[in-house]
């Protein structure tokens, strides 16, 4: 009976991400995700006039790259911000995937565990660190605008490759499909991040050929970004956040 109850408790812990919250390395990432969702909710509520629930729904569907397409950005500024949140969603998901694998035992050496009381183990170097909200906010902003990746020399080539692919693709679709340059950039990001709302789709044969080409290239970009984000925002980098 007790093993069954422990299994249920463990299941509920994972279902509501309580096991992730107990880890010093994953808590900042969860806070970062909450900040992005909170910001996006108010921004799209103001720009699109959606309810707060619909705005949260749209932000989460975008960040998770599900992209149902039932709610779509309708203004140029909304499309720019959707591009911004789509790119950040990829960065956030890749970090979460890596940390979840470590915390939940999918890797041989998970990060330092937290006690059930919420205190750090005695051998943890973070035991006596104070919570510094200003430093945490600055760190979140740095990650939000990918500054930590831009500073990393090994990541700069990947970012240039990703940015160059988006720009080249946007120019190609601008001339082939006669879309505005913003719509072309928006389409490229939605395609390469695999969100794919479906509000803008290629109609001409050359447009479809380009979509196949850049869709395949998007997978390469995502894998490259995964490798760099894991290296830059991995366990050691995250553990330095207060």
Q: Tens digit of pLDDT for each residue in 67-126?
A: 999 999 999 999 999 999 999 888 888 888 877 887 877 544 444 443 333 444 444 444
Let me know: does 29 contact 242? Beta carbons within 8 Å: no
Let me know: does 182 contact 76? Beta carbons within 8 Å: yes
Which uninterrupted H or E stretch holds 36? Answer: helix 27-48
Judged against a pLDDT cut of 60, whether residue 137 lies above it is answered with: yes
Judged against a pLDDT cut of 70, whether residue 129 lies above it is answered with: no
Count the Cβ atoms, other than its own, within 10 Å of residue 69.
Answer: 13
Helix (H, G, I), strand (E, B) or coil at 76: helix
Instruction: Record the pTM.
Output: 0.79
Domains and their CATH numbers in the chain:
9-108+129-239 (1.10.287.70)
pLDDT single digits (tens) 161-175: 999 999 999 999 999
pLDDT single digits (tens) 174-225: 999 999 999 999 999 999 999 999 999 999 999 999 999 999 998 888 888 8
């Amino acid at each position: 009976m007790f093993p069954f109850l422990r299994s249920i408790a463990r299941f509920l812990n994972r279902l509501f991400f309580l096991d992730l919250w107990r880890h010093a390395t994953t808590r900042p990432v969860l806070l970062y995700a909450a900040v992005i969702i909170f910001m996006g909710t108010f921004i799209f509520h103001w720009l699109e006039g959606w309810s707060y629930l619909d705005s949260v729904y749209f932000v989460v569907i975008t960040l998770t790259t599900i992209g149902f397409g039932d709610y779509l950005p309708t203004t140029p500024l909304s499309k720019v911000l959707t591009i911004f949140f789509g790119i950040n969603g990829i960065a956030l998901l890749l970090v979460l995937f890596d940390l979840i694998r470590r915390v939940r035992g999918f890797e041989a050496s998970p990060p330092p565990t937290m006690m059930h009381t919420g205190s750090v183990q005695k051998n943890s170097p973070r035991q006596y660190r104070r919570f510094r909200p200003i430093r945490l906010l600055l760190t979140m902003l740095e990650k939000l605008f990918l500054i930590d990746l831009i500073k990393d020399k090994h990541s700069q080539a990947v970012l240039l490759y990703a940015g160059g692919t988006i720009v080249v693709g946007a120019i190609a679709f601008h001339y082939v499909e006669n879309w505005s340059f913003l719509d072309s950039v928006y389409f490229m990001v939605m395609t390469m991040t695999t969100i794919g709302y479906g509000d803008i789709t290629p109609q001409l044969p050359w447009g479809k050929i380009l979509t196949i080409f850049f869709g395949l290239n998007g997978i390469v970009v995502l894998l490259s970004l995964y490798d760099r984000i894991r290296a830059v925002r991995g366990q050691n980098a995250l553990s330095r956040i207060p």
